[in-house]
Amino acid sequence: MASTEEEVNPYELLGVTLDVADGDIRKAYRQRSLKVHPDRNPNNPDAARKFHELNQAYELLLDPLRRMALDAKLRIKEARKARFSQYDNKRKNLVEELEERERAFKKAKTDKEEKQKQVWRDNERIMEEGRLMRETREKELLRREEEAQAESKRMKAELEPPALGTLDTTIRLKWTLTSYPNLTDSESISKLLHQFGGTDNGDILVSLKPAPPKKPKRGTAVVPFRQIGDAFAAVCASGREDRGLHGVEIDWAEGREPPLIEWLKKMGKLGSTEKSHTNEPMSTPVPTSSWKPSDSGKDSQSSTPFSSFPSTFPDILTSSSTPPSTNVAGLDYESLTLMRLRQAERERLEREILEQESQQE
């Protein structure tokens, strides 16, 4: 009676019989383990497998319950072999045929179960791939939606004008007193710049260097306009002789164009100039269709404007000649805060000018 599934016999691995004692099992294990240990057989690829099987057999035979079950199984197997040896050839063939059919049935059942398990694993894999694809697609859609929203917000932000800063209507003048000996106070400076628009006379800061009683040689002034368009026109006219500003350098108080001016140029609502915040005069006047000087400058030379500027921006005059007070009529909390911020900025700017002039001396 042949069997295709020969099981490993622990007794045979250790070279002992069924009635062996525990001490003999330990002795046999030590002898066999020295022979099949992987460290003593580095060139044998089966050494690790054989050593593992030897350990499994040793542990099984030292476990009373497992050894009892093994002994019963081996005795049944020996009894079947003994009975089979007594059969005639016809009966032996019949038994072998039945056993072969049983093995085939078991194999077919095992193959079917394995196939079902494989189908289940394939289905799980397909479902997992589908889930990952769906998550990836959802993430991509979410990313595109977020990008679209961000782009929409960016475009909307670009279309909205930036807020007017506290010094965006303030300019800085530099001149020599040899060319303008009478340009020594805020009134004279206001009169010089009257052609561009109304100025905030109470906040004009004038600094002469060296300071009197020495004979001053040059002057510096910080002038706030009421409207940013008037300040822009004054900066564009820096050094222009036809405007009476030959030798007068006019620049923005912060040394750069206000964000509102940059936004107007970017949106095409304000003609670009070759001279916006440098100290060189403009080489080419910028055409205009909408800029007009304020009412205070109507009697000046307003026939040749310097740039096109939207006339829809409000007058932001907040005179500092009157101390801020919560009782001032027409001023809400926001306007009062803006007034105080402008005062603080101009005081800081005045300190910086004085420090720069003291260093140059």
Distances (CA, A) of 193 to 23, 173, 277: 118, 10, 17
pLDDT of residue 46: 85
Task: Say if residue 352 is exposed, middle or buried (CB neighbours under 10 Å; 0-12, 13-18, 19+).
Answer: exposed
Q: Contact at 8 Å (CB) between 279 and 249?
A: yes
How far is residue 156 CA from its own chain's centroid?
21
Which pair of structure tokens corresponds to residue 337? 């805060």
pLDDT for 7 equals 67
CA distance 170 to 230: 10
Direct distance between the N- and C-terminal alpha carbons of the chain, in angstroms, rounded to an integer: 120
Q: Which structural domains are found in the chain, ordered by start?
A: 10-86 (1.10.287.110), 170-360 (no CATH)
Neighbours of 286 (CB within 10 A): 19
DSSP-derived secondary structure letter, 310: -
DSSP line for 185-225: SHHHHHHHGGGT--B-GGG-EEEEESPTTS---EEEEEEEB
**Per-residue confidence (pLDDT) for residue 353, from 0 to 100:** 78
74-84 in b/e form (b: 16+ CB < 10 A) is eeeeeeeeeee
Q: Residue 300 phi/psi, 5° resolution? A: -95, -175
Q: How many residues does the chain have?
A: 361
Backbone angles phi, psi at 18, to 5 degrees: -65, -30
| Alpha-carbon span 249 to 174, nearest angstrom | 5
Buried b (16+ CB within 10 A) or exposed e, 120-146: eeeeeeeeeeeeeeeeeeeeeeeeeee
Amino acid 288: pLDDT: 34
CB 28 within 8 A of CB 15: yes
pLDDT along the chain (361 residues), means of 10: 58 87 90 87 86 90 90 86 76 80 90 92 92 93 92 81 85 89 87 88 83 81 89 91 89 89 80 42 35 38 44 42 38 58 74 75 62
